[in-house]
Structure 1
Amino acid sequence: MVAYLRLLPVLGLLLADGAHVAAQGSHGIANGKEDWTKGESNFIPGAYIVEFEDGHGEASLFSDLQRRGLAATKRLNLNYTLFKGASFQLNAVDLDPHFASSRIASVPSVKQVWPVQRYKRPANTTLSPISSNSSHLRDLSSLSRRETSGNDTYAVHAQVQVDKLHAEGITGKGIRISILDTGVDFNHPALGGCFGKGCVVSYGRDMVGDDYDGSNTPVPGPEPFSTCDGHGTHVTGIIGALPNPMRFVGAAPGATIGMYRVFGCSGDVGADVAISAVNQAFEDGADIITLSLGGASGWTEDSFSVAVSRIVSAGVVCTVANGNSGSAGLFLAGTPANGKGVTAVSSVESTLTPFLGTGAFVSTDNSTANQTLFVYTPGAFAFPSNITLQVWPVTPDVTTDSTYGACSPLSDKAPADLSDKVVLVKYDSACGSWTEVSNLQKNNATYFMFWYDSPGNPWSIGATSASGLGMTGYSQGVQWLDELSSGKDLWFTFVESSSSTKAGVFVPNAINPNYIDTFTSWGPTWQADVNPSITTPGGTILSTWPLPSGGYYIDTGTSMATPIMAAIYALIMQARGIRDPKALLNLVSSTALQLPFYDGTNLYPNELAPVAQQGAGLAQAYKAAHATTLLNVPNIAFNDTDNFVKKTSFTIKNTGKRSVTYTIGQTPALTMYTYGNGDSHFPAPFPNPIAEGASAKLSFSHSKITVPAGKSADITVTATPPQGLNASAIPVYSGYVTVNGTNGDGLVIPYLGVVGSLAKLPVLDPDFNYMIHYNVYSTVPAADNTTYIVPYPISTAAQPIDPPPDYPAPIIQIDAGTPLLRADLTAVGNTADKVNTTKVLGVDVVGSLAGFPLAYTSRSYFVTAFTGMTQEGTIVPEGSYKFLIRALKIYGDVNNPKDYESMLTQTFNIQYNTTAIA
């Protein structure tokens, strides 16, 4: 099965995407999109997770299954304090998977049952065993020691006040943080170079082994070591890195860290392995469990969300990345980030941009006494070693086209001889470095330092000839231009020409400092719960990386924001001496800093970003650690119009030594329309249309109240949703209840609501649910009664033969989340007399399309080849068929056919050009 993209690809920088689909669509399959990449279902056919009834266990389960004709093979034993169950593979897939679930649920030993999902591994983090030489790490110390200027404060920590707690000696000491990820290179010197007691990574397990891919049998090992994927090593360094040549430390360097490896060297992770790992972390005494895996969902009922929520209820904080599908707009909350009580983390950009590259030095006085380290990527011609050159910038006043680049020759205002200067020039993709160098050489330039005019890491560039050629990043180029325009002179010193002499620096972010990252996934959930919970820095983060692949790396995503939040919790736990997840979430939520909205191009400095994007706002660790006013709720959900919560309440507790008078008010955030641009079916992509000036009106039982020391007071909140809005476009409104005390505490409670009916949202797209030709790579509908001649099926997967068979395939697009999505094969005409059918929701069906039905699915779309074999393994006879597509509406009853939207595809005929193999 494949999901397809309507407009934009998923950013996919973290594990926290793609829970239900091979790729999460950002705007469906419309607008002429006619290409896709083949993939497979994220549910493992015939694989189930069950939780046992009290007093039952594995032995009774398999005997009970056998008696009901459901012979099965064991996958995993899930025997834990909070989750007693097992996963298994049915030896024969039932005619109807939903019916199979019902049959399994009826087994006396079974309390609950779920199909086994696969969660996607992080994108682009799988490494070759040796992808670069790490011997340069020994050179970093000498380069760093030469730098005599700059501030040692790590910007990421300053953004969330971690630096202030470090200054007080708060490091997370005594707190156990367990990480579920891809494993860790614990041989890294910044991670202690060891595993076990006294090491940075002191406990944990390899739950799967190198060869595990998400569907095969895991082979556990005692140590969570891995260098074939860098994600887990990066996350570990964010929490616990020791002082290192890159001049950053972990946010909770005193914490005790455990790693539970849940990914092999390729592929994904099954929900049963993820459930096993998170429960093992709980059994091993974790105070905090952090994980950056899952996928776009918006539902709290899937098995992994249930397991994680249960752990939170048992007293362990769980921080989970909310996802990187921000380009797709509202209602893409991640799972298990959308679990009850879970801290779902969004991402903000760092105020300083890190760069990794070859080290060199810049000074303002051509001396070695006041040099600052910078990094660049060498080009085709290396700079000579031990050479110092003055910098000359290309600016609009010396170019014939008034730019910072050299796509055109320089004007007569430029020096005729630049042979002894390093020319600082913008890389212009319109003409490229070869043309720019050629134009600059007309002024005898021989040394060139390009800067890139967009975000991203610099790369190695080329030219016909040069005495020195390199590229640095945008923020670094802007910083130098500012200094030069202020009248300063700059001098570059190149110490070592070898590109293996690596270093890292931090430069003021000239693009989006402390702006909410546009990739961060938006809530709310499909049942209008507040999501995400909180925001921390996850954009452009430097951390540790496996030694064979360079030792350090800059990565981006809510995967990076999530371990920062876990570390913040560890610091607050140490500072306040508490462990309760609810109290801790209340603290970080109430003390957060609300950020303005950024649409990727423009900052709205006077408009707060919606709660559905930033949650409570940017975490402020010091405020949370020292607040004396406590609120008893982390947020308020007013739900949709059908289920509107008009009145609710919260409690203010004054734990200080004096009476405090509190003023109660509200600060609205932007209201966003879910739908826009005339499309009333598929949600609009980011940035969503803004409902200008629209906000809810809140009234309070007290606008001002005095609370004596050690006492509490209840405040009733009455809400009136914004008026005059287009309810069919599903506006999502939000903002913050403000609680300002005379003791200096300024606290907030984020609130969120929906105008319109979620239960009435159209689910099945009216234009994109029909049959096509699978291998034509086109969304053009097949003609009614098309005959497909295909090989006799050997599986539900398309056969990889040349030329590829002309398989029939339904396009299935859903424009809203659904608790259950079905794709059932129905027989047409005389074919109905030749096939066995089962009545499902009042309709006789032959079987299900491979990978279906799908439970708790987010908006997305699928194209799946029908080979002639159903999901249940039945090979249908030649004849005429249709697919019946049915989607259960939000809040619908799964057993009531009237609660489903239904669409029939056009008729298609299937014939086999080969026969069954004897």
Structure 2
Amino acid sequence: MNLSYSLFRGASIQLDAIDLDLHHASTKIASLASVKNVWPVRYFEHLANGKGSSGNSNIGKLNHLSKHFARTTADNDTVGYAPHVLTQVDKLHAEGFTGKGIRVGLVDSGVDYNHPVLGGCFGEGCIISYGKDLIGDDFNGTNTPVPDPYPQDCLGHGTHVSGIIAAQENYLGFIGAAYGANLGMYKALNCAGVSSNDVLIAAFNEAYEDGSDIISLSVGIISGWKEDPLAIAVSRIIDAGVPCVIANGNNGPFVFSSATPADGKGVMAVASIENTMTPLLGTEGFTSLDSSSENLTSFVWIPGTPAFPNITLPLWVVTPNTTAYGTWNACSPLNENAPADLSDKLVLVELSDCSDPDIANSLLKNNAKYIMFYSSDDDLSNLYSVSTTPETLGSGMVPRQQALVWRDLLGDGTEVYATMIEPQSAGTAAAFFPNDSNGGCVDEFSSWGPTWEADLNPRISTPGGSILSTYPLWMGGYYVDSGTSMAAPLMASIYALIMEARSIKDPKTLMGLVSSTANQRKYVDYNTGIFYEGLAPVAQQGAGLAQAYDAVHATTTLSVSSISLNDTNHLVNSTDFTITNGAKQAVTYSVGHVPTLSREAYKTGQSTLGRSTTPSNATATLTFSETKVTVPAGGSAKITIEVTPPQGLNSSNLPVYGGYITLSGSNGENLVLPYLGVAGSLKNARSIDPGYSFIYHTTGRFPQEAPDNDTWTIPYPTVGSKPSTSSTIDYPALGVEADAGIPLLRADIIPLGATPAKTTNILGVDVAGSLHGYPVRWLNTNINQVAFNGVTQEGTILPEGNYAVLLRALKIFGDEENPGDYFTKQTGSFNIKYASSTT
């Protein structure tokens, strides 16, 4: 690929691994005077559904849109749409702001621009007015992209993201947060959701050069390093004046789990908040209080096997009075209080304690032919397509919330009739149910910061859990999805609204406005189920939940949007910020401090990052040069902060602490300045896992350390060949796990004894070469496995003999030229013999 752009000049080169020595060729390229850096091509994926897919989310190829809007919170409008209420977007819509005139560039999987809710067209005058396909239909992540002018979506992800920004009003009851904006779609993900960093770099630069005011991305890989080449390219665009909004990743609840390029310098990295109203998308049915077709009330159901035909029947509910054990289910036959013949009823029954076929079999004793199951709790993800019996003529499932409404009516003696339409002819409908468990809280899947260099991350939070949006028409047209992928386009929309309302486009100013006006959320420990009174850590929610209206109308600005206190070795124990009063009158500000819970990255005695580390009340102490300051209209005031880090924490577990500096203005404005620090030494963070750094046999059932001085007899290799860890040939392979971020990891091969290998001294050690793909940079916590067939990364075939691998992991903040700045671990020895040789 030719990557010749105003902000990034380069090329992506694929070398022939059979005829060329990859390392030698790349070294020659890197040595050219005009080349500033060389990076390997890395493969990226869309940020997969944070909550796992559920049976009700994708309703399939339903061809009709409901004319009877099904919703529990509002009439047929979008005024009360929960994600917009949470973020105050609804207030800006009420003031007439829609993002009109703002160009939002999306880098994603394309978009179904034929979708009527997205305008139904592509190009000038359309909602999806610009963009392109950068990869073509046959791109697999490794072959040469073949661009195309039309960014049609074959994955669904990009269409869903597009609807969050730009969907027009529709019968399902949602609308885009910046529905007046123009979208540009740069298709960089194939049908499997795969891309590569060279393609993504191209997409960002194309979006920038086509005049995008904002660029949004919901793609990434776990990283924690701002030095990744894609992150660098994005940061250049931000420095050039275009804000970039990027999903922070779905790798929570681990600390240090952010994705690149969200952790790049200046990026608005977005965490996910769970929706307060959970949408259920499915097939539409109707009820009435008589058997007529008038005064119908719409509801949503999930078709079972078999699904309902076109029928109208009275509801009859299984109650404890009609069951042998006093339950709402029918795991055993009904008692004498139940009608002997239920064939002319639609039986409503709870699905609990036994399977759906068991209940259907029990109800057959009373000749039940039509059964509507409902779930035993309020979790909509528990709905699915039920199975029944060959004698059953129709079945489906509704949520408990809906069933309770019918149960109450029937319990009061009111007759309820259900009109069912067979699914192929029925409309698509949506219903919204209150989420009283974790609605409004940061999602468990949402990635935590900070970066491995203690940069504050994420920056902000918006609703990304359980979001209804558009989907390709051929995939059903609509979908409920979850992830920071959904949170990022909502944040991009908020930027568009602020740009329209305040005519501000500077990335730093926008981030400051959104960050300082955010609303902080309380902490939920999903592992224990505890809902804390204290605020969620800054490393989880950033500044908090974005408040679009407050950001538009704030008159106070702060000189910085956040403060990173670094780690213990580099503690910023004194810093300052400036308050600027843009109001027409003097404002008095009270300065305070609200600390958040701290949380350890590791558990004591465990080497890998902990999923369920316990939070602590140990917090930093902040003192201010002034706790009350009056700033004249148009004036500024500097506040100096002295920091004492928290005491009593186990520094070896890398506790992350933080909080919010608060400003309460006499004009009614309440602002925050988030800060974050690490109460331990990042340079001393565990990196090479002591229990997973060894040589193993590739033909074993799973990687297991081979005996010391073991022998492998392998085919004589060809220069440039690369063995696979899944090869049927038994190769020696290196397995190594990184337990912390590693700026640079070397895997050098050391000849032992009288092995006649030529060596080069690297950092004080004579080595025969590197394993394939090494050294590698900017690693996060993961397992790396590579087989060895006798050919080094440098293209040398090693002679038969005895070897070991010396692992050297550069410490965070370390000097890569200093041998003392590496963690080292030498594997057990292994012998190489060739089954055949060449002369």
If the length of structure 1 is used for normalisation, what is the TM-score? 0.84
Residue identity in the other structure for 1:83: F
Aligned to 2:482, which of 550, 556, 560? Answer: 556
Instruction: Tell me, yes or no, if the aligned pair for 1:149 and 1:372 is still in contact at 8 Å.
Output: no
Alignment of 1:666-677 (within 5 A): 666-676=593-603
Instruction: Tell me, yes or no, if the aligned pair for 2:346 and 2:372 is still in contact at 8 Å.
Output: yes
Q: Does 1:604 align with 2:531?
A: yes
Matched residue, 1:541: 467
CA displacement, residues 831-873 of structure 1 (integer Å, 9 cap, x when unaligned): 2x1x333332222323322332221011111222223333344
Distance of aligned partners of 1:775 and 1:415 in 2 relative to their CA distance in 1, 3 Å threshold:
farther
CA displacement, residues 407-435 of structure 1 (integer Å, 9 cap, x when unaligned): 4556777777655554443434x632111
Matched residue, 2:356: 433
Matched residue, 1:710: 634
Give the number of equivalent residue pairs: 825
Distance of aligned partners of 1:391 and 1:255 in 2 relative to their CA distance in 1, 3 Å threshold:
farther
Instruction: Tell me, yes or no, if the aligned pair for 1:146 and 1:371 is still in contact at 8 Å.
Output: no
Q: Does 1:886 align with 2:812?
A: no
* Aligned equivalents of 1:494, 1:914: Cα separation in 2: 76
Aligned to 1:619, which of 546, 554, 558? Answer: 546
Residue identity in the other structure for 1:625: V
Alignment of 1:32-181 (within 5 A): 76-90=1-15, 104-123=29-48, 136-137=62-63, 139-144=64-69, 149=75, 152=78, 153-181=80-108
CA displacement, residues 767-811 of structure 1 (integer Å, 9 cap, x when unaligned): 11112222323343211122223344452132877xx22222221
Instruction: Tell me, yes or no, if the aligned pair for 1:456 and 1:473 is still in contact at 8 Å.
Output: no
Secondary structure of the 2:518 match is: coil
Residue identity in the other structure for 1:341: G
Secondary structure of the 1:583 match is: helix
Report deviation, 1:393.
Answer: 5.3
* Aligned equivalents of 2:697, 2:324: Cα separation in 1: 54
Report deviation, 1:109.
Answer: 1.0
Q: Does 1:574 align with 2:522?
A: no
Matched residue, 1:867: 789
Residue identity in the other structure for 2:669: D
* Aligned equivalents of 2:115, 2:734: Cα separation in 1: 49
Instruction: Tell me, yes or no, if the aligned pair for 2:45 and 2:189 is still in contact at 8 Å.
Output: no
Report deviation, 1:275.
Answer: 1.2
* Aligned equivalents of 1:477, 1:261: Cα separation in 2: 43
If the length of structure 2 is used for normalisation, what is the TM-score? 0.92
Matched residue, 2:315: 390
Distance of aligned partners of 1:135 and 1:120 in 2 relative to their CA distance in 1, 3 Å threshold:
closer
* Aligned equivalents of 2:753, 2:691: Cα separation in 1: 26
Report deviation, 1:500.
Answer: 5.3
Instruction: Tell me, yes or no, if the aligned pair for 2:166 and 2:176 is still in contact at 8 Å.
Output: yes
Report which stretch shifted further, 723-732 or 449-458.
449-458
CA displacement, residues 669-722 of structure 1 (integer Å, 9 cap, x when unaligned): 11111111x33422211x32111x211121111211222222222111222111
Alignment of 1:351-430 (within 5 A): 351-363=276-288, 370-392=295-317, 405-408=329-332, 421-428=345-352
Aligned to 1:738, which of 652, 655, 662? Answer: 662
Distance of aligned partners of 1:799 and 1:679 in 2 relative to their CA distance in 1, 3 Å threshold:
closer
CA displacement, residues 607-627 of structure 1 (integer Å, 9 cap, x when unaligned): 211111111111111111111
Matched residue, 1:838: 760
CA displacement, residues 163-209 of structure 1 (integer Å, 9 cap, x when unaligned): 11111110001111000011111111111111111111101111111
Aligned to 1:274, which of 200, 220, 231? Answer: 200
Q: Does 1:447 align with 2:374?
A: no
* Aligned equivalents of 1:411, 1:702: Cα separation in 2: 76
Residue identity in the other structure for 1:554: V
Instruction: Tell me, yes or no, if the aligned pair for 2:282 and 2:300 is still in contact at 8 Å.
Output: yes
Matched residue, 1:38: none
Matched residue, 1:289: 215
* Aligned equivalents of 2:631, 2:318: Cα separation in 1: 62
Aligned to 1:249, which of 150, 175, 192? Answer: 175
Distance of aligned partners of 1:513 and 1:820 in 2 relative to their CA distance in 1, 3 Å threshold:
same
Alignment of 1:409-808 (within 5 A): 421-428=345-352, 431-442=354-365, 444-452=367-375, 453=377, 454-456=379-381, 458-464=383-389, 465-473=391-399, 476=402, 491=416, 493-499=418-424, 501-510=426-435, 511-600=437-526, 602-676=529-603, 678-685=604-611, 687-691=612-616, 693-793=617-717, 795-798=721-724, 804-808=728-732
Matched residue, 2:745: 821
Report deviation, 1:266.
Answer: 4.1
Q: Does 1:330 align with 2:235?
A: no
Report deviation, 1:487.
Answer: 5.5
* Aligned equivalents of 1:705, 1:441: Cα separation in 2: 77
Secondary structure of the 1:784 match is: coil
Name the Cα RMSD after superposition: 3.1
Matched residue, 1:851: 773
Report which stretch shifted further, 242-251 or 627-636.
242-251
Distance of aligned partners of 1:808 and 1:608 in 2 relative to their CA distance in 1, 3 Å threshold:
same
Distance of aligned partners of 1:385 and 1:580 in 2 relative to their CA distance in 1, 3 Å threshold:
same
CA displacement, residues 19-78 of structure 1 (integer Å, 9 cap, x when unaligned): xxxxxxxxxxxxxxxxxxxxxxxxxxxxxxxxxxxxxxxxxxxxxxxxxxxxxxxxx222
Matched residue, 2:238: 312
* Aligned equivalents of 1:732, 1:799: Cα separation in 2: 37
Matched residue, 1:342: 267
* Aligned equivalents of 1:647, 1:799: Cα separation in 2: 51
Residue identity in the other structure for 1:906: G
Residue identity in the other structure for 1:432: S
Report which stretch shifted further, 284-293 or 465-474.
465-474
Instruction: Tell me, yes or no, if the aligned pair for 1:353 and 1:540 is still in contact at 8 Å.
Output: yes
* Aligned equivalents of 1:380, 1:653: Cα separation in 2: 64
Residue identity in the other structure for 1:323: G
Distance of aligned partners of 1:694 and 1:897 in 2 relative to their CA distance in 1, 3 Å threshold:
same
Secondary structure of the 2:38 match is: strand
Aligned to 2:122, which of 188, 191, 195? Answer: 195
Secondary structure of the 1:281 match is: helix
Secondary structure of the 1:864 match is: strand
* Aligned equivalents of 1:99, 1:722: Cα separation in 2: 50
Distance of aligned partners of 1:267 and 1:653 in 2 relative to their CA distance in 1, 3 Å threshold:
closer
Secondary structure of the 1:383 match is: coil
Instruction: Tell me, yes or no, if the aligned pair for 2:698 and 2:725 is still in contact at 8 Å.
Output: no
Instruction: Tell me, yes or no, if the aligned pair for 1:323 and 1:520 is still in contact at 8 Å.
Output: yes
CA displacement, residues 60-116 of structure 1 (integer Å, 9 cap, x when unaligned): xxxxxxxxxxxxxxxx22221212222334567999989987765442112233232
Aligned-pair identity (%):
50
Distance of aligned partners of 1:172 and 1:663 in 2 relative to their CA distance in 1, 3 Å threshold:
same
Q: Does 1:222 align with 2:145?
A: no
* Aligned equivalents of 1:146, 1:505: Cα separation in 2: 7
* Aligned equivalents of 1:868, 1:404: Cα separation in 2: 68
Report which stretch shifted further, 667-676 or 452-461.
452-461
Distance of aligned partners of 1:825 and 1:345 in 2 relative to their CA distance in 1, 3 Å threshold:
same
Instruction: Tell me, yes or no, if the aligned pair for 2:290 and 2:417 is still in contact at 8 Å.
Output: no
* Aligned equivalents of 2:520, 2:799: Cα separation in 1: 61
Report deviation, 1:889.
Answer: 0.8
Residue identity in the other structure for 1:376: W
Structure 2, unaligned stretches of length 5 or more? none
Secondary structure of the 2:39 match is: strand
* Aligned equivalents of 1:134, 1:435: Cα separation in 2: 27
